[in-house]
Amino acid sequence: MSGTPHLGVSIDFANGPAFGNPLLLDDPTTPLGTGILADAPGDVVDVSDIAIQVSVRRGRNRILNKFEAGTAVVVLADDNGDFSPANTSSPYYGKLLPLRKIRIWADYDDGGGTDRYYLYSGYITAYNSTYGLGVDETSKITLQCVDGFRLLTNIGISTVSTASIPQLSGTRVNTLLDIVDWPTSQRNIDDGNSILQADPGTANRDLLGALQLVESSEFGGFFIDAEGNATFLSRDTISQKADETPTVFADDGTGISYQQIEFANDDTLLVNDVTVTRLNGTSQNVFDQTSIDTYFLHSGKRDGILVQTDTEALDQAQTLLVARKNTTDRIDSMTLNLLDSSAPTKIVAGLNLEIFDLVNVTKTVPGGSTITKELFVQGMQHDITQTMFDTKILTAEPLIQAFILDSTTSQGRLDSGILSY
Listed as own residue / partner, the contacts of 218-223 with beta carbons closer than 8 Å and 24 or more positions apart are: 218/169, 218/192, 218/193, 218/194, 219/194, 219/316, 219/319, 219/400, 220/169, 220/190, 220/192, 221/67, 221/355, 221/356, 222/67, 222/173, 223/58, 223/59, 223/60, 223/67, 223/70, 223/355
- pLDDT one-digit tens code per residue, 369-412: 889 999 999 999 999 999 999 999 999 988 776 544 555 555 44
Instruction: State the pLDDT at residue 392.
Output: 98
Question: How would DSSP label each residue in 238-256?
Answer: HHHHTTSPPEEEESSSSSB
pTM reported for the whole predicted model? 0.90
Q: What is the pLDDT of residue 33?
A: 43
Give, in degrees to the nearest 5, the angle at Cα 119 between 116 and 122.
120
pLDDT of 135 = 57
pLDDT given at position 415 = 47
> What pLDDT is stored for residue 399 in this prediction?
78
Distance CA 381, CA 73 (A): 12
Write out pLDDT tens, residues 281-300. 999 999 999 999 999 999 99
DSSP of 63-105, one letter per residue? TTTEEEEEEEEEEEE-TT-TT-TT-TTSTTTTT--TTEEEEEE
Taken in order 304, 307, 312, 318, the sign of the CA dihedral is negative
CA–CA separation, 77 and 130 (whole Å) = 10
Rounded to an integer, what distance in angstroms lies between the CA atom of residue 118 and that of residue 131? 30
Question: What is the mean pLDDT, run by run of 10 residues, along the chain of 421 residues?
Answer: 88 85 46 43 86 97 87 95 91 94 96 94 94 73 96 90 90 95 94 94 90 96 97 95 94 94 91 97 98 97 96 96 92 96 96 97 88 95 97 90 53 49 74
> 24: Cβ–Cβ under 8 A, 6 or more apart, which residues?
30, 35, 38, 41
**How many whole angstroms separate alpha carbon 169 and alpha carbon 232?**
9
Tell me if 155 sits within 8 A of 207, measured CB to CB: yes
Three-class secondary structure of residue 292 per DSSP: helix
What per-residue confidence (pLDDT) applies to 215?
Answer: 97
Helices and strands per DSSP (H, E), number in the chain: 7, 25
